[in-house]
Structure 1
Amino acid sequence: MVFPVLPLSVPLANVQLWTTPLWILSIGVTLGLVLLAALWGIFWLVNRGAAKQAASAVAESVLVWILYAAAAIALFGVVAAPQMPLAKVMDSLRRLPSSGERTALVVVEPQSIDQEVSFDLVADEVIAYRIESDQDIRVADVTGEAYLAPTAIVAGDEPYAWNTKSKLKRGLEDRVSKLYLTNEGDAPANVSLSFTSEVLVPETRQIPVVALSLAGLFVVYVLLRWLTPGISNIAAATAKEAANQPIYLLLMAGGAVALFCYIYIPYNTFGEDVKMLKDSGLSTIMVLAILFAVWTASVSIADEIEGKTALTLLSKPISRRQFIIGKYLGILWPVVLMFVLLGGLLMACVSYKVVYDSRESSNPTPEWQLCHAEMVGLAPGLVLAGLEVAVLTAISVAVSTRLPMLPNLLIVGSIYAVGHLTPLLVQSSIGENEFVAFFGQLIALVLPMLDHLNIQPAIAAGQAVPASYLLVATLYSALYCVIALLLALLLFEDRDLA
């Protein structure tokens, strides 16, 4: 029997294609580390003792592995910089605040020539502009060129519009700091100027997002330790114990191997294998996280209650409310670590998959921008999958206050299945008898509509997930988590621990 050999060798040029998107994200990670260092430095100057405690809290938490991974990614960014479009990326990053749409309303006096209007533009970055005037005017980007080489000749009450698909010439050259307007008429001209620009490397827009996300994660953790010390101590102990369990390492290793193997699995989708990789990878990470969350909730809550360990813990100045919330957060932190590490690996696999598929199908070599677009499109899916795991974790915590692991797994698994079928149940109940319709609406009301946190339809359609949808999904998930934790508190409040 002959086993197929995985084609691991890739030309150096192709390596640069799929690593360029990763390198751009590494800039964001590097800036995030710099921001964290700056914040800690300011904190140290204000209160050295508290700064040392914050550093110690992070060093003892599971998030320290994210810090190690971030440092490794930053090192990759530094080492790979000579082979990457460093100058263009840095220039685009610097000009990000200047991009977007800018407008100006100007009154051009009659019989005036080359009236100046300040506009900081780079010709290659302008993707569209529109000039409106109630009088005939001429617009130039160089003084004295209004008649010889005008940028635009605008007729009164007839807007002059240009975009990248227009047959008209852009009319702008190099860098423009001023526009010159000429009005030969006898009446003043009311002129509206609107320019839309985009940096040469639009992918740099993700750099600030990555930097703020990385810094925000650690800031939130430190704030929780500072504002809720009792809850945070329980959460830190639970997270550290859970992350050191063999099952956690096994799930992480198994997930990493599975994501790597998904690259080479032939999905037979006629050029849509990248979509299948995204869907399979997201599902794998989410299922592994759910299994870990249910297992940890059962071990750290149900088993501690049965083994009287919880009674010993609650004999200290710790309330039952702190116990439940601390356990929930302690389960979530290793889940966050799993999503960050496996999610980053999945992004790298998707970026490589684009180049790999084009080579295997003998298609033209794609641009690195396509690798970046496919890779970044995963981010909303990871967020939505994380929200789904957070909701199911809250439910698992509530169940663990009364039931052991096996019933917990069955209940959470059933809610997972029904939650994804809820929209179908509601839709199928339309037109049926009142009891069926009531039952469908009741399920939709009581159980979480997890299908709304599923990005698979967007992946299949090749559509981006808008930020507004992520915001609504986050609010919905947070509300359901609060309800589930309140239920957990009610179930645990009168639980006999003796």
Structure 2
Amino acid sequence: MSKLTIWLTPIWILAVGVTIGALILLLMWGVTWLVNRRAARSIAEAVGEGILRPISYVVISMAALALLASPSMPVERIMASLKRLPDVAPIVEKVEVGPRKADVEIPASFRATELQSFTITSDQDVAVNVAAKKGFVEPLILVQGGEPYSWSPGSSTPRGFEGDVTTVYVTNESDSPANVSIQMYTDVETPQVRAIPIAAASTIGLYVLYLLVRFLAPRTSVIAAATAKETIAQPLFTMLVMIGIVALVAFVFIPYNTFGEDVKMLKTSGMTMIKVLAIIMALWTASTSVADEIEGRTALTVLSKPVGRRQFIVGKFLGILWPIVLMFVILGIVFLLTVSFKVVYDARESAKTTPEWTECYLEVVRIIPGLVLAFLEAVILAAISVAVSTRLPMLPNLVICGSIYVLGHLAALIVKSAAGEIVFVRFIGKLLSVILPVLDHFEIEGAIAGASSVPMSYLGWALLYSVLYSGAAILLALIFFEDRDLA
């Protein structure tokens, strides 16, 4: 496998998932066309006019990558594992085998090559086989009473099982009943394919979410689409995206002198770069789109139409979020490419053995939750910026939101530091933690340093926190804007 294939394979797997998601969307649109052509035309217009248009260009690029790179990728291995995904699941069985009972059947369908680990326990000596009438004469696995028989990759205990297994036979020759427990954990031979359905679902979810907002709240969606279109057309958006791409590529070749930890430094630097650029974009857009329109009487013109103040604020907030989503999609893909390439690049520079593509994949998937957390942080600051923009112009908005960004990261550290032992400092730190968003929750530097992954449960709680705080900020924006004199 060439070095190009090694670092490109993780991105190709994600591209396959995006392509599958796009095909499902096309199929859904085709069904809609057959059932309701008017709705199908509206969907096509929404995709062609809104933020989904540039997103679609990115999807097409990923689909092209999935197609063009396929000849050099392990397609058969990936597809074989993808087909097996619905069939792998933990096997937990408990059964009582009577005294001097032979060949008690326990249903356990699995492939031996897919075993990740298993444990068999019994309070009596039992023999475990995959065929009947062998018992203790030809035991595949002999389990001693009270001593669990455990196997995992790298252990000295023999695995025993081979080939495809459909039934496990347990024999008990003692005079007492045996309580047998079997716990088996299986996975496909290439577990990396689990990213494919996730990427497909994410692609479908992004399109469906946008279309739901468009059709359920049309007036709000019109304001959001106009704001997003205006934001993307601004030179600042293009400039920030180009700065991000150039910086992410440059980070690959910068010598960090960390004695083999350059990949971690790249991930930390890249994550911070993308987040800061997105926050700058959000603050700038909120100031120009909300504050300037209020000061320039443009908001009064918009509200003279059948558009309420609540629709105006929510529409502006969504119009700020859509360009941020596009920025994260573009820079996120570039970031994943650079991280994957950095693994191979560092191995070459350090004269180490060329890594496997699975090593590149592991580094890539560990930073995807970090991108999600960085996006949630940008959403919170965008909501705060919208609230501030209803009353203050650009410069105070930038100062206030910049201060919130700094204090939001420092409040938790102040409480935990030595200075936090001072009663007054500790009180101020806790007060800031209550009033301001605790942005330290959206950092994954600790996970990067420890080479660990962020659990899905953490992402769920972070999403809930982001939704609640952003909702509170938008509610505050509505209160500020409700009695604002626009004349």
Normalised by the length of structure 1, the TM-score is: 0.93
* Paired residues of 2:414 and 2:426 also in contact (CA < 8 A): no
After superposition, the CA RMSD in angstroms is: 1.9
- How far the C-alpha of 1:471 sits from its partner, in A, is 1.3
* Paired residues of 2:411 and 2:433 also in contact (CA < 8 A): yes
Q: 2:24 aligned to 18, 35, 46, which one? A: 35
For residues 243-267 of structure 1, give each alpha carbon's deviation from its aligned partner in whole angstroms, at most 9, with x where no partner exists. 1111111111121111111111111
Q: 1:197 aligned to 170, 186, 191, which one? A: 186
Q: Which residue of 2 aligns with 1:327?
A: 316
Classify the secondary structure of the residue corresponding to 1:403.
Answer: coil
Letter in 1 for 2:261: E
Q: 1:432 aligned to 422, 425, 433, which one? A: 422
2:263 is aligned with 1:274? yes
Q: Which residue of 1 aligns with 2:276?
A: 287
2:18 is aligned with 1:13? no
Classify the secondary structure of the residue corresponding to 2:327.
Answer: helix
Letter in 1 for 2:448: I
Percent of pairs identical after alignment? 52
Please give the alpha-carbon distance, in whole angstroms, between the structure 1 residues aligned to 2:119 and 2:397.
Answer: 61
Q: Which residue of 1 aligns with 2:410?
A: 421
Paired residue total: 486
Q: Which residue of 2 aligns with 1:6?
A: none
2:109 is aligned with 1:127? no
2:172 is aligned with 1:183? yes
- How far the C-alpha of 1:352 sits from its partner, in A, is 0.2
- Inter-CA distance 169–269: structure 2 relative to 1 (3 Å threshold): same
- Inter-CA distance 186–441: structure 2 relative to 1 (3 Å threshold): closer
- The gaps in structure 2 that reach 5 residues or longer are none
* Paired residues of 1:63 and 1:333 also in contact (CA < 8 A): no
Classify the secondary structure of the residue corresponding to 2:93.
Answer: strand
- How far the C-alpha of 1:113 sits from its partner, in A, is 3.9
For residues 92-118 of structure 1, give each alpha carbon's deviation from its aligned partner in whole angstroms, at most 9, with x where no partner exists. 112222324211233445555434333
Q: Which residue of 2 aligns with 1:5?
A: none
Matches within 5 A, 1:188-267: 188-267=177-256
Q: 1:66 aligned to 18, 40, 55, which one? A: 55
Please give the alpha-carbon distance, in whole angstroms, between the structure 2 residues aligned to 1:233 and 1:73.
Answer: 29
- How far the C-alpha of 1:462 sits from its partner, in A, is 1.8
Please give the alpha-carbon distance, in whole angstroms, between the structure 2 residues aligned to 1:386 and 1:169.
Answer: 47
- How far the C-alpha of 1:384 sits from its partner, in A, is 0.9
Q: Which residue of 2 aligns with 1:4?
A: none
Please give the alpha-carbon distance, in whole angstroms, between the structure 2 residues aligned to 1:318 and 1:275.
Answer: 48
Moved more, 213-222 or 453-462: 453-462
Classify the secondary structure of the residue corresponding to 1:278.
Answer: helix
For residues 6-49 of structure 1, give each alpha carbon's deviation from its aligned partner in whole angstroms, at most 9, with x where no partner exists. xxxxxx71111101111111121122112222332343344332
Letter in 1 for 2:473: A
Q: 1:407 aligned to 396, 399, 407, which one? A: 396
* Paired residues of 1:251 and 1:288 also in contact (CA < 8 A): yes
2:359 is aligned with 1:364? no
Q: Which residue of 2 aligns with 1:9?
A: none
For residues 167-219 of structure 1, give each alpha carbon's deviation from its aligned partner in whole angstroms, at most 9, with x where no partner exists. 12111111112222333445554432221112111111211111111111111
Moved more, 13-22 or 456-465: 456-465
For residues 264-299 of structure 1, give each alpha carbon's deviation from its aligned partner in whole angstroms, at most 9, with x where no partner exists. 111111111111111111111111111111111111
Q: 1:49 aligned to 32, 38, 45, which one? A: 38
Q: Which residue of 1 aligns with 2:125?
A: 136
For residues 290-326 of structure 1, give each alpha carbon's deviation from its aligned partner in whole angstroms, at most 9, with x where no partner exists. 1111111111111111111110100011111110010
For residues 396-426 of structure 1, give each alpha carbon's deviation from its aligned partner in whole angstroms, at most 9, with x where no partner exists. 1111112221221111111111111111233
Please give the alpha-carbon distance, in whole angstroms, between the structure 2 residues aligned to 1:189 and 1:266.
Answer: 62
- Inter-CA distance 144–81: structure 2 relative to 1 (3 Å threshold): farther
Q: Which residue of 1 aligns with 2:106?
A: 117
- Inter-CA distance 183–285: structure 2 relative to 1 (3 Å threshold): same
Q: Which residue of 2 aligns with 1:22?
A: 11
- Inter-CA distance 117–252: structure 2 relative to 1 (3 Å threshold): same
2:74 is aligned with 1:82? no
Please give the alpha-carbon distance, in whole angstroms, between the structure 2 residues aligned to 1:124 and 1:148.
Answer: 26
For residues 445-475 of structure 1, give each alpha carbon's deviation from its aligned partner in whole angstroms, at most 9, with x where no partner exists. 1111112211222212222111121111111
Q: Which residue of 1 aligns with 2:451?
A: 462
- Inter-CA distance 430–76: structure 2 relative to 1 (3 Å threshold): closer
2:466 is aligned with 1:477? yes
Please give the alpha-carbon distance, in whole angstroms, between the structure 2 residues aligned to 1:469 and 1:291.
Answer: 26
- The gaps in structure 1 that reach 5 residues or longer are 1-11
Q: 1:492 aligned to 477, 481, 484, which one? A: 481
- How far the C-alpha of 1:131 sits from its partner, in A, is 2.0
